[in-house]
């Protein structure tokens, strides 16, 4: 049986931040990730959809330095380059199908949204590079946690399908509470009120899908458009310029079609409908992308549960007490949704991870 002082479950931004901070404090830490890659909902991909060091963010892509100082501080600490989301040019608004889309010049932005050069996964690479490779377990899915007097026994399923055990004195669950409740069996069970809170907390991005059209140049900018559009017609409801810092041109949008309807229509039908809409909004050049990408997070079983398919709002900040009863001394939640501020956002992941690390350090100091 493998053993460690702290097991961090989930290798997204929160899990990596926590694991790196604990390791830097000299605390024996193991990071356990169900996917074959790190990043969780952070996924920077190339035109073929494969993870890339310079690509398009199929998950979260923005942060706002003034409103989210925790994320701004992390970017500075890691020495990452950032750039502003393109907003130069007119915005397009499509109110109804029988009306021609309207263009207007937006008012000045109060807060500039920023993106990381090379994509959000740059933060994942920087954090993971500060952890020993042997302390990261990929393709390892936690299926059960059993409480013992001296800690927690985690049952994990490996890529080969075998069941193994990992013992930890403390567990940091750095994944969405709803996913944790659905995917892991606890012995003894979580308090019913606690389990209900986990189930009722929406997982940010889980109901959504993002479509990308990749071009050889940002033709919309030449035509005086910012690449930003809003539509009440669809299938895309919100569209933005996704051109990378290195100049790879793209538009992306969030689909306003529900998860079940997306599954019924199929990827190819959705892609063609999205391209037709981009042509209405930005002109016929939109019909000839070099590649298209569609990432449906609701179809990702390591992000979404059945409860997420019906949609849901943004997670709402609440009590920081996410665990109760006998588990309270051994289990901490650190997914972005559990943050007291900016839940669901990149900044929320950093804040939640910092909170968990501070609690563990305090506990270790008392022992």
| Domain's final residue, options 299, 326, 356 | 299
272 and 195 share a domain? no
CA atoms lying within 13 Å on the CB side of residue 6: 30
33 and 146 share a domain? yes
Q: How confident is the model at residue 309, as a pLDDT? A: 87
Indicate whether 308 belongs to any domain: no
Mean pLDDT of the chain: 95
219 and 262 share a domain? yes
Which run of H or E residues covers position 77?
helix 69-78
142 and 212 share a domain? no
For β-strands 82-84 and 114-116, DSSP reports them as antiparallel
How many CB atoms lie under 10 A from the CB of residue 55? 26
Indicate whether 172 belongs to any domain: yes
In sequence order, the β-bridge partners of residue 166 are 2, 154
18 and 155 share a domain? yes
Q: What is the CATH number of the domain that holds 227?
A: 3.90.660.10
How many CB atoms lie under 10 A from the CB of residue 206? 23
Indicate whether 304 belongs to any domain: no
Which run of H or E residues covers position 142?
strand 141-148
Indicate whether 215 belongs to any domain: yes
216 and 292 share a domain? yes
User: Quick one: pLDDT band at residue 311, thresholds 50, 70, 90?
Assistant: low
321 and 355 share a domain? yes
Over residues 101-111, the pLDDT tens digits come to 999 988 766 67
212 and 164 share a domain? no
Q: How many domains does the chain have?
A: 2
318 and 278 share a domain? no
Indicate whether 50 belongs to any domain: yes
Give the relative orientation of helices 13-24 and 121-128 as an angle to the nearest 10 degrees.
20
Q: What is the CATH number of the domain that holds 331?
A: 3.50.50.60
213 and 292 share a domain? yes
Which run of H or E residues covers position 171?
strand 163-173
How many CB atoms lie under 10 A from the CB of residue 214? 21
| Domain's final residue, options 252, 274, 299 | 299
Indicate whether 307 belongs to any domain: no
Indicate whether 18 belongs to any domain: yes
Q: Is the pLDDT of residue 310 over 90?
A: no
Phi and psi of 262, rounded to 5°? -60, -45
Report d(CA 354, CA 332) in Å as an integer: 12
CA-based nearest residue to 187, from 140, 143, 139: 143
Q: How confident is the model at residue 109, as a pLDDT? A: 65
Q: Is the pLDDT of residue 193 over 80?
A: yes
Residue 317 contacts residue 305 (beta carbons within 8 Å): no
- Residue the block writes with tokens 């954090």: 127
Q: How confident is the model at residue 312, as a pLDDT? A: 65
Over residues 219-235, the pLDDT tens digits come to 999 999 999 999 999 99
251 and 272 share a domain? yes
How large is the average pLDDT for residues 121-146?
A: 97
Residue 7 contacts residue 154 (beta carbons within 8 Å): yes
| Domain's final residue, options 266, 299, 332 | 299
Q: How confident is the model at residue 161, as a pLDDT? A: 84
> By residue range, what is the domain housing residue 323?
2-42+123-203+313-366
Positive/negative CA dihedral, 262, 265, 266, 270 = negative
215 and 294 share a domain? yes
Alpha carbon separation from 127 to 18, 29, 149, 175, 221 (Å, rounded): 10, 14, 33, 17, 35
Stronger pLDDT, 367 or 45, i.e. the higher one: 45
Phi and psi of 272, rounded to 5°? -65, -40
Over residues 337-350, the pLDDT tens digits come to 999 999 999 999 99
Helices marked H in 46-163 — which ranges?
A: 69-78, 121-128
CA-based nearest residue to 175, from 59, 30, 64, 34: 34
Q: Is the pLDDT of residue 25 over 80?
A: yes
Report d(CA 240, CA 62) in Å as an integer: 12
Indicate whether 134 belongs to any domain: yes
Q: Among 1-10, 44-53, 99-108, 310-319, where is mean pLDDT lowest?
A: 310-319
How large is the average pLDDT for residues 140-165?
A: 95
């Amino acid at each position: 049986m493998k053993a460690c002082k702290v097991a961090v479950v989930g290798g997204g931004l929160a899990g990596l931040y926590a694991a790196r901070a604990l390791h830097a404090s000299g605390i024996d830490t193991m990071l356990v990730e169900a996917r074959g890659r790190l990043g969780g909902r952070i996924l920077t991909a190339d035109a073929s959809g494969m993870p890339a060091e310079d690509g398009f963010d199929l998950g979260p892509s923005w942060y706002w330095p003034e409103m989210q100082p925790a994320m701004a501080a992390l970017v500075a600490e890691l020495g990452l380059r950032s750039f502003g989301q393109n907003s130069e040019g007119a915005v397009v608004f499509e109110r109804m199908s029988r009306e021609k889309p309207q263009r207007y010049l937006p008012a000045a932005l109060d807060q500039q949204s920023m993106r990381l050069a090379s994509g959000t996964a740059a933060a994942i690479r920087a954090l993971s590079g500060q952890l020993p490779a042997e302390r990261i377990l990929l393709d390892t899915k936690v299926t059960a946690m059993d409480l013992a007097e001296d800690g927690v026994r985690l049952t994990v399923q490996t890529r080969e399908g075998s069941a193994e055990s990992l013992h930890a004195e403390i567990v940091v669950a750095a994944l969405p509470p709803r996913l944790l409740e659905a995917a892991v069996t606890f012995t003894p069970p979580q308090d019913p009120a606690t389990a209900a809170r986990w189930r009722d907390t929406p997982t940010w991005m889980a109901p959504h899908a993002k479509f990308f059209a990749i071009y050889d140049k940002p033709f919309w900018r030449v035509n005086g458009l910012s690449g930003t559009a809003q539509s009440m017609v669809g299938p895309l409801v919100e569209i933005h310029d996704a051109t990378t810092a290195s100049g790879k041109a793209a538009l992306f949008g969030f689909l306003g079609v529900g998860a079940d309807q997306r599954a019924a229509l199929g990827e190819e039908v959705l892609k063609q409908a999205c391209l037709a809409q981009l042509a209405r909004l930005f002109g016929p050049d939109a019909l000839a992308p070099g590649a298209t990408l569609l990432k449906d997070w609701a179809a990702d079983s390591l992000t979404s549960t059945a409860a997420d398919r019906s949609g849901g709002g943004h997670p709402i900040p609440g009590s920081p007490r996410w665990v109760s009863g006998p588990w309270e001394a051994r289990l901490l939640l650190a997914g972005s949704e559990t943050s007291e501020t900016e839940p669901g956002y990149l900044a929320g992941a950093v804040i939640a991870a910092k909170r968990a690390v501070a609690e563990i350090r305090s506990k270790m100091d008392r022992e």
